[in-house]
Amino acid sequence: MLPPFCYRCSEPLTAGRVCQRCAYTPLALTSIRSPFLMEGPIREAIHQLKYRNLRALAPTLAGLMAEYWTREGLGRFDCLVPVPLHRGRLRERGYNQSELLARGLSKLTGLPVVSGSLVRQRAGLPQARASSAEERRSSVKGAFLARGRGLDDKRVLLVDDVCTTGATLDACARALQEAGAKEILALTLAREV
């Protein structure tokens, strides 16, 4: 993604370093980073991965994320945590695309994937169907729970396929903070604008 964008949430900006939302209601995340906008071939690739069961795309897409991470110098982390799906959605789809991306990143970086430490405890409106940012935030508020204390003082890279408003990532980060994570940065393949 090309600047200028908010250094916290990656929302495109016309001026300054921080968007109005982050200035008044900061995210629990250190920042959200995405190498691509959700358009063109990346949109098609994500849709193929997510809705057409084309899991073979995950390693290539994870490679693009790893290249971006390295190029941008996003820092050092202790582990990767994929954004979880609700068990009903996971049963329906048969896999979690975010976990596939995290596993691909793990192979390229050597960082462990900590699956199961973060769970989606209630289903909500799919983010793509929510009509407003407020509806998205409301839909995911309290939806995630971190289990165990394995993330105490860890720097976590939270992995997802798409960032729409950042509401899901922020809700995950809040749960991870409650579990003792020291710092959480989110890396998604694409950013919806």
Residue 162 parent element (H or E): strand 155-163
Residue 185 parent element (H or E): strand 183-191
- Taking the C-alpha atoms of residue 186 and residue 32, their distance in angstroms, rounded to an integer, is 5
Domain hosting 142: range is 28-191
- Indicate whether 162 pLDDT > 90: yes
Q: What is the CATH number of the domain that holds 47?
A: 3.40.50.2020
Q: Which two tokens stand for residue 91?
A: 């049963």
**Residue showing tokens 């370093």:** 17
Q: What is the pLDDT of residues 93-103, one digit of tens each?
A: 999 999 999 99
Q: Is pTM beyond 0.85 here?
A: yes
Residue 82's φ and ψ, nearest 5 degrees, are: -75, 145
Q: What is the pLDDT of residues 116-159, one digit of tens each?
A: 889 998 776 565 555 556 676 677 877 899 887 788 999 999 99
Number of domains in the chain: 1
- In a domain, residue 10? The reply is no
